[in-house]
Chain A
Amino acid sequence: EAGVAQSPRYKIIEKRQSVAFWCNPISGHATLYWYQQILGQGPKLLIQFQNNGVVDDSQLPKDRFSAERLKGVDSTLKIQPAKLEDSAVYLCASSTRGLTYEQYFGPGTRLTVT
């Protein structure tokens, strides 16, 4: 069974530029999560999708971050414009029954904002 795929693995941008991350969850997984992991901290949930609908985006900085999940499968997370404090690893995860059942994580995208 293929795992959660993410791209790119690494990205370096200057502040005020925009960037997008892509995630392909495990086939059949209805729930998809985006987490932000700042160095030295645990992952923090940014947004959770159930199929293609958002069920929790309470910690997403909506003035600069956006996310979508097309057709309930792949998802894209965008930052526009980026700030220095956005430097982090962005993790995508998916799960079958959602709602706290086992989440499978991708390798993450390491973003550096200079």
Chain B
Amino acid sequence: AQSVTQPDIHITVSEGASLELRCNYSYGATPYLFWYVQSPGQGLQLLLKYFSGDTLVQGIKGFEAEFKRSQSSFNLRKPSVHWSDAAEYFCAVGERAGGTSYGKLTFGQGTILTVHP
């Protein structure tokens, strides 16, 4: 069964500092990988996704993530954090569709980001 681990429940950074949020996944084949962001009282918004190809993926709002197969990781990074980035971030793995698989998404427990001015 697929699973996602986000080791950091809560991270605090200063505005303008760099950011890295960790994500490790377990999946039997090459996965689909996603990062979502959730602001208080809001639904989830897709930041970026990896399906195949270049392992460094660019997303919206200046975020990027790198897929490292050898480490089963898909860490999210941003070079300079803005106060508006404060939110909860979720990593997710999606199974590839086919046969009896319908492309289910499994989410990690999330990392809450606090940004100090």
Q: Please tell me if the beta carbons of B41 and A107 are within 8 angstroms of each other in the complex.
A: yes
Q: Please tell me if the beta carbons of B109 and A40 are within 8 angstroms of each other in the complex.
A: yes
Selected contact of A48 from candidates B32, B42, B43, B104, CB within 8 Å? B104
Q: Please tell me if the beta carbons of B102 and A105 are within 8 angstroms of each other in the complex.
A: no
Inside 8 A of A93's CB, which chain B residues have their CB? 43-44
Which residues of chain A from 36 to 54 have any CB-CB distance to chain B below 8 Å in the complex?
Answer: 40-45, 48, 50
Q: Please tell me if the beta carbons of B41 and A98 are within 8 angstroms of each other in the complex.
A: no
Q: Please tell me if the beta carbons of A100 and B105 are within 8 angstroms of each other in the complex.
A: yes
Which residues of chain A from 88 to 112 have any CB-CB distance to chain B below 8 Å in the complex?
Answer: 91, 93, 98-108
Q: Please tell me if the beta carbons of B90 and A45 are within 8 angstroms of each other in the complex.
A: no
A20 at interface by CB-CB < 8 Å: no
Question: What number of B residues sit within 8 Å (CB to CB) of A?
Answer: 25
Selected contact of A100 from candidates B42, B96, B108, CB within 8 Å? B96
Inside 8 A of A102's CB, which chain B residues have their CB? 46, 49
A56 at interface by CB-CB < 8 Å: yes
A55 at interface by CB-CB < 8 Å: yes
B95 nearest in chain A by CB position? A100
Q: Please tell me if the beta carbons of A44 and B102 are within 8 angstroms of each other in the complex.
A: no
Taking the closest CB of chain B, its distance from the CB of A6, in whole angstroms, is 8
Residues in chain B within 8 A of chain A (CB atoms) = 4, 32, 36, 41-46, 49, 90, 92, 94-97, 102-110
Given known contacts A40-B110, A100-B95, what 16 new A-B pairs fall within 8 Å (CB)? A4-B43, A42-B108, A43-B44, A43-B107, A45-B105, A48-B104, A93-B43, A98-B97, A100-B97, A102-B46, A102-B49, A105-B43, A105-B44, A105-B45, A107-B41, A107-B43
21 A-B residue pairings within 8 Å (CB atoms): A41-B110, A42-B92, A42-B108, A42-B109, A42-B110, A44-B107, A48-B104, A56-B104, A98-B97, A99-B97, A99-B102, A100-B94, A101-B103, A103-B46, A103-B105, A104-B46, A105-B36, A105-B45, A107-B41, A107-B43, A108-B42
